[in-house]
Structure 1
Amino acid sequence: MSEQGVAVTVADARFAKPLDEALILDLARDHEVLLTIEEGSRGGFGAMVLHLLSETGALDAGGVRVRTLTLPDTYQDHDSPEKMYAEAGLDAKAIVKAVLDALPERKDGRSRLRLA
């Protein structure tokens, strides 16, 4: 998938536990941005990914920027799923914005991201 010339790899973690540590470490090594998305609140899958990256030193070199997207820790009024995801910042538009906002600016306009 590509948005504004940015290549994106989507990896399905399938389940939170046990973490697929090899997959997560490979993604962190080969990409500038690692974004986790979950229908849970803080302290879930994204927190476990951050812990793994911290524990293994994968964040030490500063090569990957990590963002975790979760449901807000507030009450959400019932509505259509589309409206609730948009309100929570978990719709496609918000996800793309989170990735683009996390990308480092490059003077030459290039990034390390692999082309799809």
Structure 2
Amino acid sequence: GTPNVYTVWSPLGNVSYEMGGLAICLGSHRFETLKQSYGSKDSDRDGLGHYTDDPLVITEKFGGQWATTQFQAGDVLIFGMFLMHCSLENTTNQYRISVDARYQSAYEKVDERWSGKKPKGHFK
């Protein structure tokens, strides 16, 4: 599909720092070396999952700064597919529930795995 995909993330309830909301690496959408390597890979074709379990690897290797905040129900965070992001650890005994949706222009190429009457999704 197209690389012009946007994620819309929104918590369905309030998310304190302890509940571990979303964090983004400021400026990471401009890390050209990362975009040309990891950013050009496909999870199915190349057998990739996530980049790292330690978000500090990103800032130590490429720069940038991690940012987060406490979120309120209904907040919305919109970002492109090249912005490095992660979910922080929930250290409470409460559920943290959020909605994560992807959007693209109707004029852009569609990823066949996610469209049609019976989309195949990720390969198994």
TM-score scaled by structure 2? 0.25
Larger C-alpha radius of gyration, 1 or 2? 2
- Greater per-residue helix proportion: 1
TM-score scaled by structure 1? 0.26
- Greater per-residue strand proportion: 2
Greater relative contact order structure (CA < 8 Å, 6+ sep): 2
